[in-house]
Structure 1
């Protein structure tokens, strides 16, 4: 199968090829009888857009590995309706720039003539790519951003019909955060005074509009630090406000560099040691963004959209979560991260929709298949027939925490599951630990 990649990829090693070969062998063996009988058709071109470098680069650090797994499984083609299609995945790096995301999407649509767009990781990537696809009439499937920031942030209105015909998202929403957070917070004694650090961006504004009210209803006193601009270097005003209110809890949604700046200043100014709970989204998702904090990263809580112990397999490659994580660590030397499962889930769902369309070269048929898609991925069940709004399928968020790794571990941190209220099938391994 042909493959087009950005120059952000590094050459594969022999050991990595052996890992990928083993992962794809079972799936290919099952596919071979169908491939042999299928009539040869054309080539399907799939666009894949994510942030591989820049401030959001931690989201995409495992994408190359996952895409290689997918390409290996699709090397013999994709059979749909008795026809065998070659598959070419064209992956692009937005460099964490929304304007570049738009440019890349338009180039994939207009120059490469893709049949389906897949995109992931934060509004800065997903929204501009989705908008380009909607304008051009190209089916697009996305994941990993609050669905409210995707749906309402792109112009949809509550209670009105969806304005979107071509674009779809499966991802978590505010209610998933609230459920997971409240479950975690109830397990750690605190004074219920919550500091919130929310940026002036799609994520921060969606959370401020939809979530803070729910937390107040649950009995928490919310101290909003106010919307700040990405790239802020001095958080003294917010820290002073939180200290004056005697906050023992923090909820934040900054990009990784901003949180690192804020939390170091919070430690220097005496706020960090007062905290019983430090709940971080967007930043605390990956070991690479926690490790830069040193000891300040221990016991930070997060809500995870995937963990290697999720009890689901990839429908595309056949690998389990543990196999995916172990293969990544062996092939790259880096610690596994939760975006591995999300990226593979995006590929699982995308190719499930192509198969369900009966004619994957027909863009309208693929969009229709996305609108009625019900399939199981590594993140769990996806069902676009239920809502909560058209074009959206919500996914679970489970509670997790970064703790000091046991003696002898090759990594500094261990990522543990602390609650599973959104998906009881996910095993809980530890009770939440107070931050300080």
Structure 2
């Protein structure tokens, strides 16, 4: 059994002791995570990210609080990808299990369901997978997010389209934009961010459509795109939307110089058995990439984290796992700096966080958003994801136009 596997086994053993603070000195974080239901794949990435960080922290001696040292563990419940169930389980964790510190679920919708519960009981929640900016206009004081909020996801694609126009001797205001988004809070935030950024350049929105409810056919939108010939198509419909765009564009012979999507990895659009080479050249929004130069003392570099995750779980970590690990790391750091297990003192320490992790820089504004880390765009080149924007983090050159 390798050291990390031993660490994960130790976590399971600690939880068997029960209680938020076990007799052997364990800080138990609570988490309702989607292990079944429509978010189960991303929920599994989330849980594995949490578990990897917990094992790593315990391997490094745990968390020192004053003159005592604690191990960390996570008490999980399956929220079944259902908001009502997530809220119910959050209350169970706090009231029945005595949890004083919460980790977030997967998705903005489930985070939205849990946040009023943790706020009511004044229990801090560091979440890693709820990106909707609507979470941060409610005045919550106990909610903190390590990820970039959703309106930022595809704004960099608009910046990139403006840059390409200038390289061609055109004005950014000449760029024509097509937008297709799912009718859910996350994707509508993305739409708002894209429209806002496009407006700042004076770009013209030639298509602004919503995906069909079942995300099974976007013929009506693609007919418009084919006729109006935009310079860039921006689309967000979670993994089903990414798969739909990648499949239907070549079927309908729709060609656009630049295509930018969310959820490329979870849709597995580089799988040639499913999609052939049709994903080649697609721009994919990402919170994080293993090639980035962030680093910390716990995991080392982003690349070091990716190697450890792949060794442990057998696949390259998606950003959902990385940001989940970062949330646990921030908790450990804040509890140490607070020098206390009092939730209010820990909450204040979280609010004062200003540090770099392997996942990126973390600094929260007054609403609990992380304002220190940008989104990145990765382009699929020869079946691999290559960071092409922002230029500060780029590891390769943009291939343009889209094949």
Q: Give secondary structure in 2 for the equivalent of 1:72.
A: helix
Residue 364 (structure 1) aligns with? 344
Structure 2: runs of 5 or more not aligned: 9-22, 169-173
TM-score (structure 2 length as normaliser): 0.82
8 Å Cα contact 1:19-1:327 kept in structure 2: no
CA displacement, residues 395-433 of structure 1 (integer Å, 9 cap, x when unaligned): 2112211222xxxxxxxx311111235xx3x35333344
8 Å Cα contact 1:198-1:254 kept in structure 2: yes
Q: Give secondary structure in 2 for the equivalent of 1:45.
A: strand
Distance 1:64 1:300, change over 3 A: same
Distance 1:289 1:131, change over 3 A: farther
Distance 1:18 1:427, change over 3 A: farther
- Residue 318 (structure 2) pairs with residue 337 (structure 1): yes
Aligned-partner Cα distance in 2 for 1:87–1:236: 50
Aligned-partner Cα distance in 2 for 1:41–1:22: 16
8 Å Cα contact 2:26-2:70 kept in structure 1: yes
Aligned-partner Cα distance in 2 for 1:293–1:54: 25
Residue 171 (structure 1) aligns with? 147
Q: Give secondary structure in 2 for the equivalent of 1:297.
A: coil
Alignment of 1:214-229 (within 5 A): 214-228=197-211
Picking from 246, 260, 264, the partner of 1:279 is 260
Residue 19 (structure 2) aligns with? none
8 Å Cα contact 1:184-1:419 kept in structure 2: yes
Q: Following TM superposition, by how much is the alpha carbon of 1:205 offset from its aligned partner in structure 2, in angstroms? A: 2.4
8 Å Cα contact 1:180-1:399 kept in structure 2: yes
Q: Give secondary structure in 2 for the equivalent of 1:196.
A: strand
Deviates more, 1:71-80 or 1:135-144: 71-80
Distance 1:174 1:71, change over 3 A: closer
8 Å Cα contact 2:243-2:267 kept in structure 1: no
Distance 1:284 1:374, change over 3 A: same
CA RMSD of aligned residues (A): 3.0
Residue 356 (structure 2) aligns with? 376
TM-score (structure 1 length as normaliser): 0.76
Looking at secondary structure, tell me which structure has more helix per residue.
2
CA displacement, residues 266-307 of structure 1 (integer Å, 9 cap, x when unaligned): 332222xx11111012x2244735434342222210222111
Aligned-partner Cα distance in 2 for 1:50–1:22: 21
8 Å Cα contact 1:118-1:140 kept in structure 2: yes
Q: Following TM superposition, by how much is the alpha carbon of 1:91 offset from its aligned partner in structure 2, in angstroms? A: 3.2
8 Å Cα contact 2:150-2:186 kept in structure 1: no
Distance 1:432 1:338, change over 3 A: farther
Residue 293 (structure 1) aligns with? 275
Aligned-partner Cα distance in 1 for 2:55–2:94: 24
Alignment of 1:28-427 (within 5 A): 42-75=25-58, 76-119=61-104, 121-146=106-131, 148-152=133-137, 156=138, 163-173=139-149, 176-177=152-153, 180-186=156-162, 188=164, 192-228=175-211, 230-271=213-254, 274-281=255-262, 283-286=263-266, 288=268, 290-291=270-271, 292-315=274-297, 317-360=298-341, 362-384=342-364, 387=365, 389-394=366-371, 395-404=373-382, 413-421=383-391, 424=392, 426-427=393-394
Aligned-partner Cα distance in 2 for 1:97–1:319: 36
- Aligned pair count reads 377
Aligned-partner Cα distance in 1 for 2:7–2:145: 31
Aligned-partner Cα distance in 2 for 1:186–1:296: 24
Residue 395 (structure 2) aligns with? 428
8 Å Cα contact 1:55-1:257 kept in structure 2: no
Aligned-partner Cα distance in 1 for 2:385–2:253: 26
CA displacement, residues 142-171 of structure 1 (integer Å, 9 cap, x when unaligned): 13443523213xxx3xxxxxx212212232
Aligned-partner Cα distance in 2 for 1:372–1:147: 22
Aligned-partner Cα distance in 2 for 1:332–1:88: 19
8 Å Cα contact 2:28-2:75 kept in structure 1: yes
Q: Give secondary structure in 1 for the equivalent of 2:210.
A: coil
Aligned-partner Cα distance in 1 for 2:7–2:86: 34
Q: Following TM superposition, by how much is the alpha carbon of 1:127 offset from its aligned partner in structure 2, in angstroms? A: 2.0
Distance 1:229 1:363, change over 3 A: farther
Aligned-partner Cα distance in 2 for 1:100–1:369: 30
Q: Following TM superposition, by how much is the alpha carbon of 1:41 offset from its aligned partner in structure 2, in angstroms? A: 7.7
Structure 1: runs of 5 or more not aligned: 1-13, 24-39, 157-162, 405-412
Distance 1:356 1:342, change over 3 A: same
8 Å Cα contact 1:342-1:378 kept in structure 2: no
Aligned-partner Cα distance in 2 for 1:42–1:381: 30
Residue 20 (structure 2) aligns with? none
Aligned-partner Cα distance in 1 for 2:132–2:109: 13
